[in-house]
Structure 1
Amino acid sequence: MTLLEGVANALATASILLAGRNSVHTWWTGIAGCSLFALLFWDTRLYADVLLQVFFVGASVVGWWYWSRHGERAELPIGRTAPRTLAWFVAGAAVATLVYGSLLHRFTDAYAPFADSTVLALSVLAQLLLMRRRIETWPIWLLVNSVAVPLYASRGLMLTAVLYSAYWINAWVAWRHWHNLFRRAEAVA
């Protein structure tokens, strides 16, 4: 483990735990962690993950703005995505995985271009759902982490692989927490 991997993981872990708790502070910690992860993934030839980190930094800026504009409320509204819309999003992520994975395979020395592209496409989908506070973000994060753990372990990023295993558990816990927040909000409305 390098210092870069350690600091990137510490910031990312803080961000992920804060997201699960529905905290606006998830965003600035995410910006810092993702910036460091971009450097780490470049060094390990996981180019789709580099692009993903750049996306995460931009999405975190937007997410921070979106969540902050609701004021100081502790729990901002959580919603659901229509099943048909979610099906289109998942299909789009599958197509993006195949297209980007093919490009990486053909034109770069990328390691595991299709697994890396799967992490990219599903993470983009999950992040977009998170930014809009959709409860479906968490099962998508479960899929991301299921692919990312063996991918990162295969590149020798053992701390990252272990933490992504913990993020898998966090996604289950956060899914339940957000579901409870959603049910409470529905009961009040």
Structure 2
Amino acid sequence: MNLPDHLTLLEWAATATTALSVWLAARRHIATWPTGIVGCLLYGALFASTQLYADATLQAFFVATSAIGWWQWRRAAQATTGATATAARAPLRPAHWALLLGGGVAVTLAYGALLLHWTDAFAPFWDSAVLTTSVVAQVLLMQGRRETWLFWIVVNTLSVPLYLNRGLDVTAGLYALFWLNAWHGWWHWGRQAKVAVAEQPSAQPA
């Protein structure tokens, strides 16, 4: 599938803006949020034009949650110093994992069925899986949880072949880089958590 010139330009603009946002997220920099909002608006228009309706809907969710995340990280930054975001959070408990995974599968099937029967969506269940996993990853990112990067790894793994099938070669290449960046984010946030623990004052005996 070859994209018209105007969509190719839109794809490049969305790619550049979103790449910057994701790199900033891996560095825990608060500027990830406003940059991400611009990227989401551009990608929303692109996905709607290429019949990836779940992905287009997802961008609206990202815009709203990015505004909330921006506010949350700003409050956290003001409580400490600098433009870095929240401190590391405790790992997810098994009950949380079960809720996220079980709910994710249910939403993927339900929304995929909706797209299948009511739209001309390309690969509705595949598209739905990208949406659902992205929602979970975004919520965990807003909370400053390291596990967000595991879900972004899954998102990027699903997204690359999907976008290639729609002729979005530039976007597919971007998400391949996102896949690498997600591993970097997982490592970098883990290192920050270890440093934070090491810097905590030891409890003094009574």
TM-score, reference length from structure 2: 0.89
Identity %: 47
Counterpart-to-counterpart distance in 2, 1:31 and 1:103: 27
Aligned to 2:10: 4
What pairs up with 1:1-189 in 2 under 5 angstroms?
Answer: 2-70=8-76, 71=78, 72-73=81-82, 74=84, 76-79=86-89, 80-189=91-200
Counterpart-to-counterpart distance in 2, 1:55 and 1:9: 18
Q: Which amino acid aligns with 1:50?
A: A
Counterpart-to-counterpart distance in 2, 1:75 and 1:123: 20
Could you tell me which runs of 5 or more consecutive residues in structure 2 were left unpaired when the two chains were aligned: 201-206
Provide the secondary structure at the position in 1 that maps to 2:86: coil
Aligned to 2:203: none
Q: Which amino acid aligns with 2:53?
A: Y
Q: Which amino acid aligns with 1:173?
A: H
Could you tell me which runs of 5 or more consecutive residues in structure 1 were left unpaired when the two chains were aligned: none
Q: Which amino acid aligns with 2:133?
A: L
- Structure 1 runs of 4+ aligned residues shifted over 6 Å read none
Contact 2:37 2:63 in 1 (8 A): yes
Matched pairs, number: 189
Counterpart-to-counterpart distance in 1, 2:87 and 2:95: 21
Query: What CA deviation, in whole Å up to 9, does each residue of 1:6-39 have, x standing for no partner?
Result: 1011110010000000000000000000001000
Asked which structure has the greater CA Rg, the reply is 2
